[in-house]
Structure 1
Amino acid sequence: MVPFHGGCSRRYGFFTDSYDLFVISLITKLLGRIYYQVPGSSSPGSLPDGISVAVSGVAFAGTFLGQIFFGCLGDKLGRKRVYGLTLLIMTICSIASSLSFGKDPKTVMVTLCFFRFWLGFGIGGDYPLSATIMFEYANKRTRGAFIASVFAMQGVGILAAGGVSLLVSYLFEIEFPSRAYILDGAASTVPQADYVWRIILMVGALPALLTYYWRMKMPETARYTALVAKNAEQAALDMNKEIFTEVDEKRFALTICQSENCLIDRLGRYWIQIIGFGMMTVFMLVLAVPYHHWTLPANRIGFVIFYSFTFFFSNFGPNATTFIVPAEIFPARIRSTCHGISAASGKAGAMVGSFGFAALGISLEELTGETKPERVKEKIGV
């Protein structure tokens, strides 16, 4: 049984996580043009490599630590209490990151990175707790689909980040027209552009605020109350309060989770993961082996198509199964902790991708004396 407000809060909470984590990649170019524009330069300003890596990746470092910390805390203090705390952190830091300040560009970026780190820390707690709570409410037959429905909101959050960025940029372009950089570099970035990235980041606080009400109404999970807190009577009372909302959640699940396209409870976790890894390998090889072929302008659409397939099978397979399986295989008393450790392992890989390859590129530039960084990046596939 999954309470309606419980299911909604976790789905939209994960939507918020995704929006806040991935929206930063859409505004880094704008940050470069606003704060690192060189007067008279033939090309628009861009963030220095080190700052770009920090701005883009610092939230992943916070998420890594948050997953471990809040995962452990969820087993000590209870799912509901810690879940509400993560939401408050996400809301406050989303707003704070949009208000980043400083007397010079470097200080603004340092402030932004500071708040992005703590935003990631709060987001990190949402990963193990979302999966754990959804598992502890769901029944055995459909729990895979229910947990997968939470994870599916990640894609919706990424789409929303792109949509909001386009909408805000479009509205500002109408109100404050700018010229093409090639025609007038100084007039290509209007002063009001500084509000664009701030509004885009601040929007991330809205879904968090909207779901706060549902989270606060959500009772502690019966499994935690009965098996960890050892209060079977309170667990029974909590379940009785929610039993009448089960039908609403079932309808939602039947519509979204149990369609013919939802295979997690049909094929099983093992085969879903094997198929996902296998197809990702195929498409990555298709892109990597003839890499120069895909860099040609005429072939870029094909590159996007094949790269999209890698993401499809990543989310179809290992991205979803590694979110579901840890919630299923560990006992209630350490479920949140172990899921946090599992999720943190995944974020460690994201940190390698964000920081490791960037550091490799910078090192190769220094070793080879290459004056054009884009050539080095092309060689290592960054």
Structure 2
Amino acid sequence: MVRQQLEVLNALDVAKTQLYHFTAIVIAGMGFFTDAYDLFSISMVTKLLGRLYYHKVGAPKPGVLPPGVSSSVTGVALVGTLVGQLFFGWLGDKMGRKKVYGLTLLVMVVCSVASGLSFGSSPKGVMTTLCFFRFWLGFGIGGDYPLSATIMSEYANKKTRGAFIAAVFAMQGFGIMAGGIVGVIVSAAFDHAYPAPTYEVNALASTVPESDYIWRIILMFGALPAALTYYWRMKMPETARYTALVAKNAKQAATDMAKVLQVEIEPEEAKVAQIAQDTRNSFGLFSKQFAKRHGLHLLGTCSTWFLLDIAFYSQNLFQKDVFTAVGWIPPAKTMNAVQEVYRIAKAQTIIALCSTVPGYWFTVAFIDIMGRFAIQLMGFFFMTVFMFALAIPYDHWTEKSNRIGFIIMYSLTFFFANFGPNATTFVVPAEIFPARLRSTCHGISAAAGKAGAIVGAYGFLYSSQSKDPEKTDAGYPTGIGVKNSLIVLGVVNFLGMAFTFLVPEPKGKSLEELSGENEEDDDVPAAAPSRTVPV
């Protein structure tokens, strides 16, 4: 039996696309712009850090970050993100979306600046300080995932909800591209101002002291978009679904949404009070009822996001090494430190512009036409195909005449990641779970994804380091390492395609239909009236 929908929620479901939708996309999306910038900009400067702080001839691999240090600098923010997703996801359901939404931005602003100001009297001290602040930067970034997705899903209408949530996430593409552009501008400015003199080739180290400013400026720039967004986040009203269904305040929900939608809405306090008394839909996260209704759904969202992020973050974080291995970026010994940052940033910008950003916006355009399931399955399929097509004939692609073909196919894996599971794994968890658990379940799903990203950062980046003493550019992956990594990533994508069948299709349905909150299910036993169900 289906309960009649609250008027305030029905008004949101059938609302025409209005200015407030686009305002919400920009406000929430700028958080993801910052997230992507902060998470991926580090990959541009890790080689510079090696030249600056590990350049002494006595170092194990002069001019290169040791594998453990490189993996930590790259991956520690992902660990913080995982913790932040779980914590802020839970807090968003306990305190409300808006109350904790601004806090995540403040953490991001402070820690972005602090990362660039990392201090220490030794290389170990600088790297330790950098890792500390990047952990807390990731913690703030983690909160943005469940809160932005949940807020956008609860503001959107059911006809174009997928496009609106995907548009928020698509700002990641612009963040990745902005990181490359900032890297290009900053490195070009310093290279022009301070031409690098001859340096010791075996040490792979630049003698330009001003190079130390480059990585600091690049990392600190991430504070700017987050700071600009803070005021507007604080002006957003709490979502009506949280206010009405979780906080049980019908009057406030109607008042807030009447201002947003510019229509008269009946508070319906009696109906909200009736919903509050109905304990059949008040089960907690660790209950049998939740396992029965949403257990497989949560397994599906967690597993697909986990598998996707192993591939996606591995690709993003070691793309500079792949491009070096196939010769698109020249060997380090032919460039000074500043020029190397410039070439890596330029390559990242081109890939983002030609494949990453278009992939995100293809999802925005087609998600409410094709549906989430079809796009996710298609994305995993083509990622699998292209990974194997690159890996199996790898020696063919490393020949100079075939390098452009390699870059094109490698770019297509980014395109189908974003016109595929990288977007849909973010969208679906914000739609299929009950309002009182929505932020928590999205945070759990996103944290599973970051666990996959950590596998990529610590596992693939560490294992791909060259151990060949005859390798001229110590620290770059060998051809064998890259080939095996691509094969493993192909298998990972295939598994993602299989687990996609656990995820339901939310297209065209209201959030309450999907979560079952409108159902009066007589098969689900009623809980004791006095019982308070924990999240």
Q: Measure, in 2, the Cα distance between the counterparts of 1:3 and 1:21.
A: 27
Deviation at 1:291, TM superposition (A): 1.4
Q: Distance in 2 between matches of 1:197 and 1:371?
A: 29
Deviation at 1:261, TM superposition (A): 7.4
> Contact 1:44–1:181 at 8 Å: present in 2 too?
no
The equivalent residue for 1:335 is 438
1:280 corresponds, among 360, 365, 383, to 383
Q: Give the direction of change, closer, same or farther, for the CA distance of 1:377–1:82 in structure 2 (3 Å limit).
A: farther
Match among 410, 415, 427 for residue 324 of structure 1: 427
User: Which of 205, 208, 224 matches 2:223?
Assistant: 205
Alignment of 1:168-183 (within 5 A): 168-179=186-197, 181=199
Write out per-residue CA displacement over residues 4-48 of structure 1, whole angstroms, 9 at most, x where no aligned residue.
Answer: 54322101111001100000000111111111112599x971111
Aligned partner of 2:455 among 352, 357, 365? 352
Letter in 2 for 1:132: T
Counterpart position of 1:240: 258
- Whole-Å separation in 2 of the counterparts to 1:183 and 1:117: 34
Q: Partner of 1:251 in structure 2?
A: none
In the TM superposition, what is the alpha-carbon distance from 1:79 to its structure 2 partner? Answer: 0.4
Distance 2:72 2:203 in 1: 27
Q: Match of 1:80? A: 98
Report deviation, 1:242.
1.7
The number of equivalent residue pairs is: 366
1:226 is aligned to 244
Q: CA deviation at 1:186?
A: 9.4
Q: Is the 8 A contact 2:111 2:134 kept in 1?
A: yes
Percent of paired sites with the same residue: 64
The alignment's TM-score, normalised by the length of structure 1, stands at 0.89
Structure 1 residue 375: deviation in Å? 8.3
State the one-letter code of the partner of 2:166. Answer: A
Where 1:71 maps in the other structure, the secondary structure is helix
Does the Cα contact within 8 Å between 2:150 and 2:439 map onto a contact in 1?
A: yes
Aligned partners of 2:162 and 2:364 also within 8 Å: no
Q: Deviations over 1:293-332 (max 9, x none)?
A: 2223332222111111011001111111111111110010
Post-superposition Cα deviations, 1:34-88, rounded to whole Å, max 9, x if no partner, equal 11112599x9711111101110111111111111111111000110111111111
Tell me how far apart the structure 2 counterparts of residues 133 and 80 of structure 1 sit (CA, whole Å). Answer: 8
Quick check: 1:20 aligned with 2:38? yes
Aligned match for 1:166, one of 177, 181, 184: 184
2:338 match? none
Deviates more, 1:195-204 or 1:172-181: 172-181
**Residue 304 of structure 1 pairs with residue 407 of structure 2:** yes
Question: How many angstroms apart in 1 are the aligned matches of 2:172 and 2:116?
Answer: 22
Q: Is the 8 A contact 1:276 1:317 kept in 2?
A: yes
Verify the 8 A CA contact 1:3 1:243 in the aligned structure 2: no
CA contact (8 A) 2:166 2:363 kept: no
Provide the residue aligned with 1:148 in structure 2. Answer: 166
Query: What's the secondary structure of 2:416's corresponding residue?
Result: helix
Contact persistence 1:80–1:218 (CA under 8 A):
yes
- Separation (CA, whole Å) in 2 of partners of 1:103 and 1:282: 48
Flag the 1:261–1:53 CA change in 2: closer, same or farther, 3 A.
Answer: closer
- Aligned-pair distance for 1:189? 3.5
Give CA-to-partner distance per residue, 1:167-226, whole Å, 9 cap, x none: 011111222221354789899441111111111111000000000011011111111011
Per-residue deviation at 1:237?
1.0
The CA RMSD over aligned residues, in Å, is: 2.7
Given that 1:222 and 1:239 are in contact with CA atoms closer than 8 Å, whether structure 2 keeps it comes out as yes
Worse-superposed segment, 44-53 or 305-314: 44-53
Q: Secondary structure at the match of 2:63?
A: coil
CA contact (8 A) 1:6 1:214 kept: no
CA contact (8 A) 1:8 1:214 kept: no
Q: Tell me, in whole angstroms, the C-alpha distance in 2 between the residues paired with 1:30 and 1:286.
A: 32
Contact conserved, 1:63 with 1:125, CA < 8 A, in 2? Answer: yes
- Deviations along 1:260-303, whole A, 9 cap, x unmatched? 97110001111111111111111011011111222233322221
Match of 2:508 in 1: none
Shift of 1:236: 0.9
User: Within the alignment, does 1:294 sit opposite 2:312 as a pair?
Assistant: no
Instruction: Give distance in 2, aligned partners of 1:147 and 1:277.
Output: 20
CA distance in structure 2 between the partners assigned to 1:179 and 1:244 by the alignment? 64
**Which 5+ residue runs of structure 1 have no aligned equivalent?**
246-256
Alpha-carbon distance between aligned partners in 2 of 1:82 and 1:97, rounded to the nearest angstrom: 23
1:132 aligns with 2:150: yes
Structure 1 counterpart of 2:113, one-letter code: I
Higher helix share: 1
SS at match of 1:262: helix
* 1:47 counterpart SS class: coil
SS in 2 for 1:263: helix
Stretches (4+) displaced over 6 A: 182-187, 257-261
Match of 2:341 in 1: none
Which of structures 1 and 2 has the bigger CA Rg? 2
- Given the alignment, which residue of 354, 368, 373 partners 1:270? 373
2:54 to 14, 36, 50: 36
Q: Letter of the aligned partner of 1:94 in structure 2? A: S
Deviates more, 1:218-227 or 1:235-244: 235-244
Q: Give the whole-Å Cα distance in 2 for the aligned partners of 1:357 and 1:348.
A: 13
Check whether the contact 1:64–1:344 (CA below 8 A) recurs between aligned residues: yes
- Give the aligned residue type for 1:8: V
Q: Counterparts of 1:279 and 1:157 in 2: how far apart (Å)?
A: 24
Q: Residues of 1 paired with 2:397 and 2:229: CA distance?
A: 43
Secondary structure at the counterpart of residue 46 of structure 1: coil
> CA contact under 8 A between 2:363 and 2:418: conserved in structure 1?
no
Return the offset for 1:110: 0.5
